[in-house]
Amino acid sequence: MKRIVAFVAIAVALTVEQVPAAESAATPEDCIRNFYRWYVTNLVANRDPMKQRGEIRRYATERLLKEIDKMVKGPDGLDGDYFVDAQDFDPQWAKNISISPVQTHGDKSTALVHLNGSKGMRKTLFVHLAKEGGTWKVDKVQGRD
């Protein structure tokens, strides 16, 4: 019996270590960096971040998620990924995120975000953030190139 309990305890400990914890978004920069690292890593692993509703809610406002859900997809609507403003992505984007100085006014912030990849794969995004439940979250993304 003791062996079974020990085995279960070890299995639980190993499982817990493999589940990434949501990182705190104490600042708008933290939110942007944590979100894009998580988002692009999921794209690279061929996992749709939008289907991970519990996790994406840690990074994006409810208002934005509802807006995206209402968007028409395909040729007559959203053509590409909303958060990277592209049909393709570069795996290096998860590691090469640069953020302009953030402009904050109360519970709203904006920043230019550069996702830098290999062979000229670069995206510049204008990211709007809002505080929701005391945490900074992405509230709107606009492509710049």
pLDDT tens string, the chain, 145 residues long: the values are: 444 434 333 433 433 333 344 444 689 999 999 999 999 999 999 999 999 999 999 999 999 999 998 886 655 555 678 999 988 889 999 999 999 999 999 999 999 999 999 888 899 999 999 999 999 999 999 987 6
Full-model pTM: 0.78
SS3 142: strand
Give residue 76's pLDDT: 54
Q: Does domain 25-143 have CATH number 2.60.40.420?
A: no
Give residue 74's pLDDT: 57
Using CA atoms, how far apart are residues 8 and 26, in angstroms rounded to an integer? Answer: 35
Token pair, residue 36, equals 């894009």
Indicate the residue type of 141. V
Question: Alpha-carbon torsion 21, 22, 23, 26, what sign?
Answer: negative
Give residue 77's pLDDT: 54
Which residue ranges make up each domain of the chain?
Answer: 25-143
Give residue 97's pLDDT: 95
